[in-house]
Structure 1
Amino acid sequence: MLTASSRLLRLIALLQSRRYWSGRDLSERLAVDPRTLRRDVERLRELGYPVQASAGVGGGYQMGAGAELPPMLLDDEEAVAVAVSLRAAAASVAGIEETTMRLLAKLDQLLPARLRRQASALHAVTISLRSGEPLADAELLTGTAAACRDQECLQFGYRDRGGRMTQRRVEPMRLANSGRRWYLVAWDLQRSDWRTFRSDRMSAPLVTGPRFTPRTPPMDLAEYVRRAISYAPFEYQLKIRLRGTAQELSQRIPTWAGVLEAESDDSCILATGADCLEALAAQLLFAGEFEVVDAPAFMPELRAVVAKLGQRVAD
């Protein structure tokens, strides 16, 4: 059973994870009776957390907006995670560098010496290799995340792969991070289909509302994003058969080279793609020996590109 202080931390985390909670759900999550839950809620209010309660059918608890930031309660693991995450985020999210440094300075003053050493160890021995400017805007990410959390429709400007700007209206589901890029997974209301949107191509202002009932995604969202960003959007798409198990091949084929799926006990299908034939030929170099599955119409042009590369290497 959780101690009283641990239970309060858990209650704060639950209230902040989504907008509404029924009393019954919270009691079950915390393994306490309704009376204890009410006492814990009152304790949070005394500490400055604006917890709101509503009675009747559909009632429950929610974390309201307060005039002042309430005290932050963090256990040891959470404190270390916050410090490490802040240091890492500054390299990929624009507009938070100065704020991150101020917050880290405050954390260093508050953390016990043992936790301060643990939180700063990774940063102390790590060199950050920047490759251009951060690709995500902090304000846009937080606004998008809030729409996902609150299940509110989202409208924004979007620049497609060809540079054309359109207004998009979606039901946002999740944010996904892949290296320095962030993606929004959402149901596109104009196209009546699931889509992924690169955050660096999204533009403010973000317009939210009304609320929606979440749809069932077509598959695991992590797998959906992986497919969407490594194969589906490219002009030139190709499937090849490789000999070996999925475990063996995954050690050799980089994730950005395509989507690898087991076909049998000793073969896999790699779905790969690129915006130009030269890039596609380069990706095939990682595959080693392979067999083309259902040769597409552009195969003669691809062979010509490969032949030209061989000729240049021979020369």
Structure 2
Amino acid sequence: MAATSARTLKLLSIFGIGATLTAGELATRLGTSVRTVRRDIDTLRDLGYEIEAVRGAGGGYRLGHAARLPPVVFDEDQAVAAAVALQTVPAVLSGIRENAARALATLHQAMPARSRRHAEAFTVSSARNYWEFPAPPIDAETVRAVGSAINRQHLVRVGYTGDGESVTLTLEPHDLVVWAARWYLVAFDPDADRWRAMRVDRIQAHQPTHTPFDRRDIPHGDPVAFVMTAHDRGDAAAEWQCRGSAILALPASTVARFAPGGSTVEYDTETTCRLTLGAWSWPGLAGLLLTFDADITDIEPAELRQALHSLRTRISRGVQVEPELAVEVPTDVAHECG
């Protein structure tokens, strides 16, 4: 009986991923027969789980939407994953710490001792590296309001703070994206007739509009790709001991994707942009600029130009020692650093 119950719970966890699987595929995963799988499916149906039979090519069995909520069952790996997520969510969402703690306590009480030990093994202190500049924890109510508008395809009215100014916008919200430890809203602005990637930590959601809209095709066909290549997504330059900028002979969308955290990208022309960034030293900052492998001009401040000049001198010495190596120094860098 215990083996049967364990197998049925494992079958339920397999259905939980949302896939449609044949009886043969399920039998392989469970290490049992097709006949046993069908019997276990009947058991789940008796317990109140809606297991749908899908006919035709690509058919099989899948978990449907039940009219009532049956007991939620996790296998050990799922329980550990849920416990870890509940421990980390207060770092990215504000106003949810107490609820997450209560949910975690409930989950711990229901977990076997072994699973609880595995979950507790993931309790670690957090640390930031040099290039991590996450936004402050996002207000959970803001995420809930925006997320609800996205799911219902309703216009959302928000206050947005950017470049020191606050504006009120009515937007067509399409997706929420978490990238580089920051939350972004991908939305179309009908008044400006353009797409926006907006930092959620700078948004204040107003009352629901209940006004529907039709979804549009997102640029690049992917909200994540749109955010990664949007140079005007609201990022701000971080405070560093050394900070400088230069015009790069690359499109803003290219530089925005690969710029280190805590930097900003400004559109200049179709093929050039200004990158502002910082580092712990002027040579370190100069080295970051050179990683883009593009011509650089209009370099500021003088300390950054001097650091580039020093790097050129060191590279030249290295080339003289090993003549088989060839290093090309952009002529505009040489001019600016001269």
Could you state the TM-score of these two structures normalised by the residue count of structure 2? Answer: 0.56
Is contact 2:286-2:307 (8 Å) kept?
no
Give the deviation of 1:146 after TM superposition: 3.3
Percent of residue pairs bearing the same amino acid type = 25
1:105 aligns to what? 105
Q: Could you say which residue in structure 1 is the equivalent of 2:196?
A: 195
| CA gap 1:200/1:77 in 2 versus in 1, 3 angstroms | same
Against the structure 1 CA distance between its residues 201 and 234, is the aligned structure 2 distance closer, same or farther, given a 3 Å change threshold? closer
Shift of 1:150: 4.2
Tell me which moved more, 90-99 or 39-48.
39-48
Q: Which moved more, 1:170-179 or 1:112-121?
A: 170-179
In the alignment, the residues of structure 2 paired with residue 163 and residue 147 of structure 1 have an alpha-carbon distance, to the nearest angstrom, of 24
2:89 maps to 89
For structure 1, which segment, 110-119 or 202-211, has the greater mean C-alpha deviation from structure 2 after superposition? Answer: 202-211
Match of 1:306 in 2: 304
* Counterpart for residue 116 of structure 1: 116
The structural deviation recorded for 1:45 is 9.5
Q: 1:232 to 1:201 in 2, by over 3 A?
A: closer
1:156 aligns with 2:154: no
- CA 1:10–1:288: 2 relative to 1, 3 Å: same
- Cα drift, residue 258 of structure 1: 7.5
Distance 1:288 1:138, change over 3 A: closer
Q: Aligned to 1:166, what secondary structure does the other structure show?
A: strand
Query: What are structure 2's unaligned runs of at least 5 residues?
Result: 1-6, 24-36, 53-62, 238-244, 251-257, 266-270, 309-338
Secondary structure of 2:85's partner? helix
Partners of 2:103 and 2:76 lie apart in 1 by: 17
In the alignment, residue 247 of structure 2 is paired with which amino acid? Answer: L
Counterpart position of 2:148:
146
TM-score, structure 1 length as denominator? 0.60
The aligned counterpart of 1:293 is 295
CA distance in 2, matches of 1:154, 1:7: 40
Q: Distance in 2 between matches of 1:146 and 1:44?
A: 31
Alignment of 1:239 with 2:248, yes or no, is: yes
Q: Is the 8 A contact 1:257 1:272 kept in 2?
A: no
C-alpha contact (below 8 Å) 2:170/2:189 kept by paired residues: yes
**2:125 maps to 1:127:** yes
Distance in 2, matches of 1:209 and 1:63, equals 27
CA RMSD of aligned residues (A): 4.8
The aligned counterpart of 2:319 is none
Tell me, in whole angstroms, the C-alpha distance in 1 between the residues paired with 2:81 and 2:99.
17
1:228 is aligned, of 215, 221, 230, to 230
Structure 1 residues 221 and 239: CA distance shift in structure 2, 3 A: farther
The match for 2:172 is 170
Output the amino acid matched with 2:177.
L
**Deviation sequence 1:44-76 (CA, Å, 0-9, x none):** 796488x9xxxxxxxxx985897xx75322232
Q: Unaligned 5+ residue runs, structure 1?
A: 15-25, 52-60, 242-249, 260-268, 311-315
> In the alignment, is the contact (CA less than 8 A) between 2:142 and 2:205 conserved in 1?
yes
